[in-house]
Amino acid sequence: MSWFERFELRMQPSTVTMRRAALWSSTGVAPRLLPVPGRAAESKEAWREPLQVAVQMLDDAQARGGALHVVLSDHFARYALVPWSPGLIRDAERVAFARLTFSQTYGVLSDDWEITLDENLQVAPVIACALDRALLESLREVCSARRMRLASVVPGFVRALNRHRSALRGDGFWVARVETGRLTLALRDAGAWAALRTRRLDDSDAQALAGALRQEALACGASPKGSVYLIDTASTAQSLPGWSVTRLGAATGAAGAAPAARALAAK
């Protein structure tokens, strides 16, 4: 039985990792990793195969009760930078405005996506993320069937930003998170978030990554060089030509740090 345990699932297109520990402990048994058959990272519901593997891992662990934290690949999330707008105070108003921002970035965003954004009112743009509602409902069903509590569901970039917030210095820099096949970037300028970009990344070596950074900087009117905080889960790029790089380690431990954008969780 696992009533007093917490489980963390990291779902990526090609692998799923599970960590297991007591609720009151920061350590646990060695993580277990399983490959995902039939990887389809760019399909509409690419999360379904990793979820099947995650369910298998929970069943193998005889998970019953306890808390489940889920960290999702950025392949399964959409991001947008929502500008500040005076007069938007109620959550429903802010989410509706965020949905409009997403539609301008990705086209019409259907009601099949749930949106969350920074829960603190700020006179500045805030980071928002959207996840497929079917994915969230499936996770809730998985937990319900096992009498587990779905404690948090958070995309990788948001979680990394949470974990490394205290290490970010200065008024102007990029934060870049690299995982296999995906690059997510946020630009900090004059003490506020100024741009948020995500793109496919076929090659994550130093030259390709530096080139992608330059392209995205130029696309949003920023300098094609400067400082970048690099979170490289693919562990390939050691330095980036033309950029001053500060490498940040991959976050470890259970999800649930103070959020930069509120973690999506079951209600």
222, two tokens: 């920023």
- Higher-pLDDT residue of 254, 90: 90
Q: What is the pLDDT of residue 94?
A: 81
What proportion of the chain, given as a percentage, has pLDDT over 90?
A: 46
Q: What is the pLDDT of residue 112?
A: 83
Tell me how far CA of residue 143 lies from CA of 25, 133, 152, 217, in angstroms. Answer: 21, 15, 12, 41
57, two tokens: 């891992």
**Global confidence as pTM:** 0.87
Q: How far apart are CA 125 and CA 215, in angstroms?
A: 22
Q: What is the pLDDT of residue 257?
A: 40
Fold assignment, 5-73+134-154:
Nucleotidyltransferase; domain 5 (3.30.420)
Q: Does residue 247 have a pLDDT over 70?
A: yes
β-sheet bridge partners, residue 155:
72
Q: Does residue 255 have a pLDDT over 50?
A: no
Question: Which range is least confidently modeled, 121-130, 164-173, 207-216?
Answer: 121-130
Q: Which helix (H) or strand (E) covers residue 98, if one does?
A: helix 91-106
Question: If you average pLDDT over residues 250-254, what whole number do you get?
Answer: 47
Which of 19, 24, 21 lies closest to 9 in space, CA to CA?
Answer: 19
Q: How far apart are CA 19 and CA 29, in angstroms?
A: 7
Q: What is the pLDDT of residue 149?
A: 94
Distance between first and last Cα of the chain: 24
Q: What is the pLDDT of residue 253?
A: 43
Asked if 264 and 152 count as a contact pair (C-beta separation under 8 A), the reply is yes
Residue type at position 54: A
Q: How far apart are CA 174 and CA 187, in angstroms?
A: 4
Helices 133-145 and 48-60: angle between axes, nearest 10 degrees: 10
Q: What is the pLDDT of residue 261?
A: 55
Q: What is the pLDDT of residue 119?
A: 60
- Of the pLDDT bands very low, low, confident and very high (cuts 50, 70, 90), residue 26 is low
Domain 160-248 CATH class label = alpha beta
Question: If you average pLDDT over residues 251-267, what whole number do you get?
Answer: 48
Length of the chain in terms of residues written? 267
* Maximum distance among all Cα pairs of the chain, rounded to whole angstroms: 55
Domain ranges of the chain: 5-73+134-154, 76-130, 160-248
